[in-house]
Copies of this chain bind each other. A is one copy, B any other.
């Protein structure tokens, strides 16, 4: 199998770029003296995750219990489910633990902690629980100085659960694009999470793990004193949102969507392609960033950007490729029907999720199919 033999649209992974991205992150984590626990929600793909582990990652982070089940079945037993635990999922989590999975679950509320402890005690299951810490007001978690932190810790610890640590994610790091801002938010993430751990310990509660991370902060942090592990996901492929944040070049983006030109509207300067939002996802993450790439940056079949050409609009199975600014009324001659292009995505996690498999492209031009799963 090679690029020319693939049906379109297809999700292409450039193995060389992916390998460089994995090495870059792992080398950085080694230098900073922390363990690295990749977030596998980006790819949900055994081959990719195995490459991350082979490079030195310790354990994984998941966003669904289905990911935990699938990767546990693939032999990975050190797993953090990094979404606050819903009471109705406790049985599923317990079944994983009973089968030998060292699953860690997360909470940020007294009521959820109580539900975990009650269920755990009823079923003689001492869940390992990490408390989610809010370091930037981005989403969920407990602010480091909020006494709720200690309340939740006590409910778990005194309720017989194993209070294993604290976990933070500076999701607001995606909103910045300068080194200074990224270093500042990285330090805020580190300091806030360490502060939460220190408060728990000062209250006599256990807190071994201090887990932080996002791709921008992991790549910007100057030191990680007090942190034991870092989590990041999208760095493995990168994407145009990360390019706008300033943490990768377009040449580092390992995921693209192979597509075929199927028609034109010449007077408008449009080429119509057979990748629409079903293949790219509806993610418009660059819309409010410094450079809006529409639904993606257009490259030739070799993956070299056609500067100034983007997927400017998308329907379900149609994409409109056009030049930014002055319409290219010669686009039908430039990109005739049958031309194959590759589109770099705004958001690798969202684009990958639209595809049953990646097509992994080696340096020698051969392509392997790497399945990925979806659903809950």
Contact = CB atoms under 8 A, between A and B. Distances in A.
A32 B375 CA distance: 41
A132 B262 CA distance: 12
What is the copy number of this chain in the assembly? 2
Contacts of A8: 86, 88, 376
Nearest to A268: B137
A79 to B, nearest CB: 15
Interface string A340-359: 00000001011001111100
A265 B132 CA distance: 12
A317 B83 contact: yes
A296 interface: no
Contacts of A264: 109
Interface stretch (A180-188, A222-230, A273-281, A303-311): A273-281
Interface residues of A, number: 60
Interface of A: 7-10, 41, 63-64, 83-89, 92, 107-109, 111-112, 115, 132, 134, 139-140, 171, 260-265, 272, 274, 277-279, 281-284, 315-318, 320, 336-338, 347, 349-350, 353-357, 374-376
21 contacts: A7-B89, A9-B376, A41-B316, A41-B317, A83-B318, A86-B338, A88-B260, A88-B338, A107-B263, A115-B337, A115-B338, A139-B320, A140-B263, A281-B282, A316-B349, A353-B354, A354-B374, A356-B374, A356-B375, A357-B375, A374-B374
